[in-house]
């Protein structure tokens, strides 16, 4: 998808993490202390956190690309005429459709991945 997580996005995300804050503000000393306790270097943590942010971006794009067709929306609203909130039914259906799209995307990526099992190491 050619997505990236900018240095600014990474910095903003890390500084907003409650575990690295003191009195509601990011504290570099707390950051280094917490990472050291967890046996991380700042570089290693930031590399991993950048990857996690990138994964979240991809998930968001996949889910947000999904919409109900007009007939799906109409069917969802008509599925239970006694329902006091037919929009909620459509919203639930959309959520399920987004989850299926994300699962399908993930499965497709797994199928493309080349995995070599070295049986001698098992």
Report the pLDDT value the prediction gives residue 5, as an integer from 0 to 100.
96
Count of structural domains within the chain: 2
Q: Are residues 46 and 88 in the same domain?
A: no
pLDDT of residue 52: 96
pLDDT of 6 reads 96
Residue 118: per-residue pLDDT: 79
pLDDT at 101: 95
Residues 45 and 93 in one domain: no
Alpha-carbon gap, residue 103 to 81, rounded angstroms: 31
Cα atoms in the Cβ-side hemisphere of radius 13 Å centred on 113: 9
The pLDDT, as a whole number, for residue 55 is: 94
Instruction: Give the bridge partners for 112, in sequence order.
Output: none
Residue span of the structural domain in which 82 resides:
67-114
- Map residue 26 onto helix, strand or coil: strand
pLDDT of residue 70: 93
**pLDDT value at position 71?**
94
pLDDT at residue number 98: 96
Give me the residues of the chain with pLDDT under 70, please: none
Q: Cα separation of 55 and 61, whole Å?
A: 10
Same domain, 83 and 103: yes
Sign of CA dihedral 77, 78, 80, 83: positive
């Amino acid at each position: 998808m050619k997505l990236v997580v900018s240095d600014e996005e990474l910095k903003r995300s890390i500084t907003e993490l409650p575990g690295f804050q003191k009195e509601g503000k990011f504290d570099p000393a707390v950051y280094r202390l917490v990472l050291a306790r967890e046996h991380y270097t700042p570089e290693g943590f930031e590399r991993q956190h950048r990857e996690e942010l990138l994964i979240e971006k991809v998930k968001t794009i996949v889910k947000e690309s999904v919409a109900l067709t007009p007939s799906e929306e109409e069917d969802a609203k008509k599925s239970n005429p006694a329902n006091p909130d037919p929009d909620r039914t459509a919203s639930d259906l959309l959520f399920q459709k987004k989850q299926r799209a994300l699962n399908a995307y993930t499965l497709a990526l797994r199928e493309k991945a080349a995995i070599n099992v070295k049986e001698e190491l098992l």
